[in-house]
């Protein structure tokens, strides 16, 4: 496995992931032969629901660990959470690079408030719990935290 132009390039016979543009997904594959004149490698994917799939691939990456997959999922959740639903701003959500820095710094998606926490919040602010619950639910929904 070598690096070329900051892209991971597989060697013949290795097991890795290749992007299938027709299906628009990453698939676990085995590289069958060297690069063609167009930068493509013939690969074979074995998926339970698809059987064997032979295709030419140009975009490869090493197989991710479970921790890396969880990190990627957390980054995507953070990006999705910060997207504004109704905005006229040009920048309506954080970038992937910003999300990666936030996740790597230890941020995790907050959990919903328990009934006890809602009651304590209402008592502290001298709110009626029956009046504040819909307000809290609406605020959480606007922030994308309606779990």
Strands 15-20 and 25-31: antiparallel
> In terms of Cα–Cα distance, which of 5, 34, 3, 29 is closest to 18?
29
3-state secondary structure of 60: strand
Here the tokens at position 90 are 């040009």
Q: What is the pLDDT along the chain (147 residues), one digit of tens a residue?
A: 455 556 677 888 888 888 888 877 888 888 888 777 777 778 888 777 767 887 888 888 888 888 888 888 888 888 777 665 555 554 556 777 888 888 888 877 777 778 888 788 777 777 776 676 777 777 767 666 654
């Amino acid at each position: 496995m070598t690096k070329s132009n900051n892209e991971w390039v597989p060697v013949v016979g290795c097991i890795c992931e290749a992007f299938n543009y027709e299906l628009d997904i990453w698939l676990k594959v085995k590289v069958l032969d060297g690069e063609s004149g167009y930068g493509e490698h013939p690969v074979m994917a074995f998926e339970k629901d698809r059987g064997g799939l032979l295709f030419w691939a140009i975009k490869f990456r090493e197989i991710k660990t479970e921790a890396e997959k969880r990190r990627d999922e957390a980054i995507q959740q953070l990006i999705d959470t910060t997207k504004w639903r109704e905005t006229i701003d040009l920048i309506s959500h954080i970038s992937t690079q910003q999300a990666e820095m936030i996740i790597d710094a230890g941020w995790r998606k907050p959990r919903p408030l328990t009934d006890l926490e809602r009651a304590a919040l209402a008592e502290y602010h001298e709110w009626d719990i029956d009046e504040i619950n819909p307000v809290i639910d609406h605020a959480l929904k606007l922030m994308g935290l309606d779990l």
